[in-house]
Homo-oligomer: A and B are copies of this chain.
Amino acid sequence: MTYDLVVIGAGPGGFDCAAEAAGHGLSVALVEKDFLGGTCLNRGCIPTKLWLGATSAIEELHNQAKMKVASGEIIVDFEALQQRVRKHLAGTRKAMAMQLKGLGIELVEGFGKLDDGKVVVSGNEGETVLEYRNLVIATGSKPIFFPGLEPDGQCVLDSNQFLAMEAMPKSLIVVGAGFIGLEMAQVAHRFGARITVVDAMDRVAPLEDPEVSKALQSMFKRWKWDIQLEKRVSGVRTVDGRAVLTFDTRDTLEADTILVAVGRGPVTENMGLEEAGIELEFNKIKVDENLQAAPNVYAIGDVNGRIQLAHAAAHQAWYAASHIAGKTDGPYASGPVPSVLYGAPEVMRVGKTENESFLDDYDTTEVSRAQLAANPMAQAHAATQGFVKVVWSGGKVVGVTGVGHDVSRLVTPATMIVQQGWTGDDVHKTMFAHPSLDESLLMALKAERKKVE
């Protein structure tokens, strides 16, 4: 048979696209070489959230203990936690498989390659050839490494290997101070590990507003993290059961484990893409305004290099399925894309940063802000460092970012506010519950605006 749609990759993008398309009545086959759920479920967002959830009481207790209100000890059994993670992932994959079955989607296990307008899937039981009317490539991304920074799987790990560890190290060097590295470092910190963070840039979380980076650094330094910025790493390796990092100055650092989290790149190798007329640019699949890489071929999620976030992939999936089903004909519009660093502190961002807005509009860019210290919920959790900042352009909200206790809860209202381009007058239209951390967003919206210069 010829499927209305073949999807390669069953991560958040591919899975959702298959499900959505089946919901439109299309016949769908979904190809996956590894696990249902992709990186996000199996080696990314979900396991780290289970780690953070399991250890959140440690941070809460720590904060109250500093206020001399609480005392005690919490022991998280890492082996039990890893068992729980594996069980959770297996359960979720099983539920996903059931969902596919319920939707009548054919799951084809193996590596999918394009060949003469068909997809040839090489699995354990030989080859399956899938004919399609439409193809969606959603193969995602994987960790990438600069020369010399390749993990050896012993004491030098990538994020996949780190999440599969059997014991938490007592000392950890994280190379790369992006969200992935910082979330994992937070978890290791809660388990009592001594943390060193190394980055070539001059600040942690270098994609964020510089003030957010500064606030994070100040909080991490209170935890006695060693933060080494503007440092070039020439090599990482395992020597006699220890992880050794060498800077280009030939200085070295040692720890139980090194996590290399310097970035992720698209998975496009050996798939016959270029032979099929699909254009690659730095390994990314180039797509047009309809997320199409070639006639009737779409590329969604990390693999098209637009943005590496599961929910962005899911949103593109919804569009691609609608487009294929003929329910949408306009170009793809993502709207503002929320991003979150979880933990304690958290970071949230949506829309433009102050600098991005100033580059686009140096005339009317303004910022207004509120400190979490003034918020009763932050105070109740004895975690008052941090702030919320609103970026305005032409009198409208174009971006919101925040750092501190529980600020992830601001991201959905902030996404709606940026999308709707609120003006100062809109602020009074929505009632914010009191007390709530959400009020820090309201305070920032109502605060005096200062022109960016």
Task: Name A residues whose Cβ lies closer than 8 Å to a Cβ of B.
Answer: 12, 40, 45-46, 49-50, 52-58, 60-61, 64, 67-77, 80-81, 84, 88, 92, 309-312, 314-315, 318, 334-340, 376-377, 379-382, 408-409, 411-413, 415-416, 419, 428-436, 438, 441
Q: Is the CB of A54 within 8 A of B70?
A: yes
Q: How far is the CB of A212 from chain B (nearest CB, A)?
A: 16
Distance, CA A377 to CA B413, complexed state (A):
18
Given contacts A70-B74, A380-B52, A382-B53, whether A429 and B433 have CB atoms under 8 Å apart is no
Given contacts A54-B64, A61-B74, A381-B56, whether A412 and B435 have CB atoms under 8 Å apart is no
Q: Is the CB of A335 within 8 A of B74?
A: no
Q: How far is the CB of A258 from chain B (nearest CB, A)?
A: 26
Query: Which of the residues B84, B412, B432 comes within 8 Å of A432, measured between beta carbons?
Result: B412
Given contacts A381-B56, A409-B409, whether A339 and B433 have CB atoms under 8 Å apart is yes
8 contacts between A and B (CB under 8 A): A45-B434, A53-B377, A67-B80, A68-B77, A69-B76, A311-B433, A337-B431, A408-B433
Q: Is the CB of A432 within 8 A of B56?
A: no
Taking CB atoms, residues of chain B closer than 8 Å to A335 are 429-431
Taking CB atoms, residues of chain B closer than 8 Å to A429 are 335, 419
Query: Which of the residues B380, B412, B433 comes within 8 Å of A436, measured between beta carbons?
Result: B412
Given contacts A81-B69, A433-B339, whether A57 and B46 have CB atoms under 8 Å apart is no
Distance, CA A278 to CA B376, complexed state (A):
35
Known: A54-B69, A72-B72. 16 other contacts (CB 8 A): A50-B379, A53-B377, A57-B57, A57-B60, A67-B84, A69-B80, A70-B74, A71-B77, A310-B434, A311-B432, A335-B430, A408-B436, A411-B438, A412-B433, A415-B432, A416-B430
| Nearest B residue to A77, CB-CB | B69
Taking CB atoms, residues of chain B closer than 8 Å to A80 are 67-69
Q: Is the CB of B380 within 8 A of A53?
A: yes
Q: How far is the CB of A180 from chain B (nearest CB, A)?
A: 14
| Nearest B residue to A61, CB-CB | B57
Q: Is the CB of A77 within 8 A of B73?
A: no
Distance, CA A419 to CA B64, complexed state (A):
38
Taking CB atoms, residues of chain B closer than 8 Å to A438 are 409, 411-412
This chain: how many copies in the complex?
A: 2
| Nearest B residue to A411, CB-CB | B433
Distance, CA A265 to CA B436, complexed state (A):
24
Distance, CA A315 to CA B430, complexed state (A):
9
Among A415, A428, A431, residue most surrounded by chain B Cβ atoms (within 10 Å)? A431
Taking CB atoms, residues of chain B closer than 8 Å to A88 are 379
Distance, CA A311 to CA B438, complexed state (A):
12
| Nearest B residue to A41, CB-CB | B376
| Nearest B residue to A428, CB-CB | B318
| Nearest B residue to A68, CB-CB | B80
Query: Which of the residues B67, B314, B377, B413 comes within 8 Å of A416, measured between beta carbons?
Result: B413
Taking CB atoms, residues of chain B closer than 8 Å to A72 are 72-75
Distance, CA A110 to CA B54, complexed state (A):
51
Taking CB atoms, residues of chain B closer than 8 Å to A71 are 74-75, 77
Taking CB atoms, residues of chain B closer than 8 Å to A334 are 431
Given contacts A412-B413, A413-B412, A416-B416, whether A377 and B49 have CB atoms under 8 Å apart is yes
Taking CB atoms, residues of chain B closer than 8 Å to A337 are 431
Taking CB atoms, residues of chain B closer than 8 Å to A92 are 376
Distance, CA A411 to CA B409, complexed state (A):
10
Q: How far is the CB of A429 from chain B (nearest CB, A)?
A: 6
Distance, CA A433 to CA B311, complexed state (A):
6
Taking CB atoms, residues of chain B closer than 8 Å to A311 are 431-434
Query: Which of the residues B54, B68, B428 comes within 8 Å of A380, measured between beta carbons?
Result: B54
Query: Which of the residues B57, B68, B433 comes within 8 Å of A340, measured between beta carbons?
Result: B433
Taking CB atoms, residues of chain B closer than 8 Å to A432 are 311, 338, 412, 415
Query: Which of the residues B46, B382, B413, B431 comes within 8 Å of A435, measured between beta carbons?
Result: B46
Taking CB atoms, residues of chain B closer than 8 Å to A376 are 45-46, 49-50, 92
| Nearest B residue to A71, CB-CB | B75
Q: How far is the CB of A39 from chain B (nearest CB, A)?
A: 12
Q: Is the CB of B56 within 8 A of A60?
A: yes
